[in-house]
């Protein structure tokens, strides 16, 4: 079966640029091309949900120039790819700390979410200023205040209820996690949601990752036996 939900840690843009003696930002720019290819490939393969890690809460610690260049690329991507989403019936959702985003970026994102809300071929979740621990703490805070106000009974909180308080509340858990560039870590990505995901790490750097590589990852996934502890 094709995985219903694929999550990707898009890593290696910096190394891709370095290998070529190019400025890092050109690696990020090439990375955007991979995103476009992979969105189309997911539509072709019948994947229903794609969650991509674009910018972590920790990435705010990068040089200011890099951060602003990354957000510029993102806003360009949103402006230029509206057609990609409309033509392919793709619903876009942003997950992460919206409050930390520049108001102009935030309003563009919200417009895009509104414009694509009714599409149902593929849901594309873009993790932006996203950190899993921060997401979990945020959920706990909301639950605690709702309990205090008497809106929810502590005894009524279970895994299902808790999941509804996460940013990913309208997507099922990922079946397959892909990380490019050979790093074997989660880097604070979807800690709760990845509990039983199959993990696939490739040496390919994100700007070099294309449809064939995605196919390879899906083929590998299909060979795995998922036991869920049983
Ligand atoms: C991934 O590429 C993109 C972001 C984290 C925004 P990196 O910039 O982390 O690339 P490397 O890891 O330095 O090669
Ligand atoms: C993870 O990559 C975040 C994104 C891909 C957006 P990083 O390059 O920031 O992660 P570390 O520093 O290697 O753990
Ligand atoms: Mg990296």
**Candidate of 187, 189, 202 to mutate for ligand 2, largest count of ligand atoms within 8 Å of Cβ:** 187
Written as six digits, the tokens of 117 are 């809300």
Task: Judge whether 25 and 63 are in contact, CB under 8 Å.
Answer: no
Task: Judge whether 192 and 136 are in contact, CB under 8 Å.
Answer: yes
> For every one of its 230 residues, what pLDDT tens digit does the chain have, with 9 covering 90 and above?
999 999 999 999 999 999 999 999 999 999 999 999 999 999 999 999 999 999 999 999 999 999 999 999 999 998 888 899 999 999 999 999 999 999 999 999 999 999 999 999 999 999 999 999 999 999 999 999 999 999 999 999 999 999 999 999 999 999 999 999 999 999 999 999 999 999 999 999 999 999 999 999 999 999 999 999 99
What fold characterizes domain 5-131+172-223? Undecaprenyl pyrophosphate synthetase (3.40.1180)
Calpha distance 171→169 (Å, rounded): 6
For the entire predicted model, the pTM comes to 0.97
Pairing state of beta strands 176-179 and 198-201? parallel
Task: Judge whether 130 and 99 are in contact, CB under 8 Å.
Answer: no
Calpha distance 205→64 (Å, rounded): 23
> Does ligand 1 come within 6 angstroms of the Cβ of 13?
yes
Buried b (16+ CB within 10 A) or exposed e, 67-76: eebbbebbee
**Candidate of 9, 10, 12, 60 to mutate for ligand 1, largest count of ligand atoms within 8 Å of Cβ:** 12
Calpha distance 224→4 (Å, rounded): 15
Written as six digits, the tokens of 201 are 């790490």
Residue 143 pLDDT: 98
Per-residue model confidence as pLDDT tens digits over 145-186: 999 999 999 999 999 999 999 999 999 999 999 999 999 999
The domain limits of the chain are 5-131+172-223
User: Minimum-distance ligand to the CA of 34?
Assistant: 1
Cα–ligand 2 centroid distance for 2 (angstroms):
26
Calpha distance 118→86 (Å, rounded): 10
Task: Judge whether 30 and 40 are in contact, CB under 8 Å.
Answer: no
- Could you count the other beta carbons within 10 Å of the beta carbon of residue 60? 13
């Amino acid at each position: 079966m094709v995985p219903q939900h694929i999550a990707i840690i898009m890593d290696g843009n910096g190394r891709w640029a370095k290998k070529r003696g190019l400025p890092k930002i050109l690696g990020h720019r090439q990375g955007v091309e991979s995103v476009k290819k992979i969105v189309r490939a997911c539509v072709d393969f019948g994947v229903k949900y794609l969650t991509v890690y674009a910018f972590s809460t920790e990435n705010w610690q990068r040089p200011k120039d890099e951060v602003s260049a990354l957000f510029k690329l993102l806003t360009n991507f949103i402006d230029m790819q509206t057609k990609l989403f409309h033509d392919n019936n793709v619903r876009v959702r942003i997950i992460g700390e919206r409050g930390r985003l520049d108001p102009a970026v935030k309003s563009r994102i919200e417009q895009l979410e509104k414009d694509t809300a009714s599409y149902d071929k593929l849901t594309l979740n873009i993790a932006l200023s996203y950190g899993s621990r921060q997401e979990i703490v945020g959920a706990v805070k909301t639950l605690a205040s709702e309990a205090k106000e008497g809106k929810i009974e502590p005894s009524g909180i279970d895994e299902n209820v808790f999941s509804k308080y996460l940013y990913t509340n309208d997507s099922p858990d990922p079946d397959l996690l892909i990380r490019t560039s050979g790093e074997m870590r989660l880097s604070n990505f979807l800690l709760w949601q990845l509990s039983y995901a199959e993990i696939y790490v490739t040496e390919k750097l994100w700007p070099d990752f294309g449809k064939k590589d995605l196919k390879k990852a899906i083929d590998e996934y299909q060979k795995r036996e998922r036991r869920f502890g049983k």
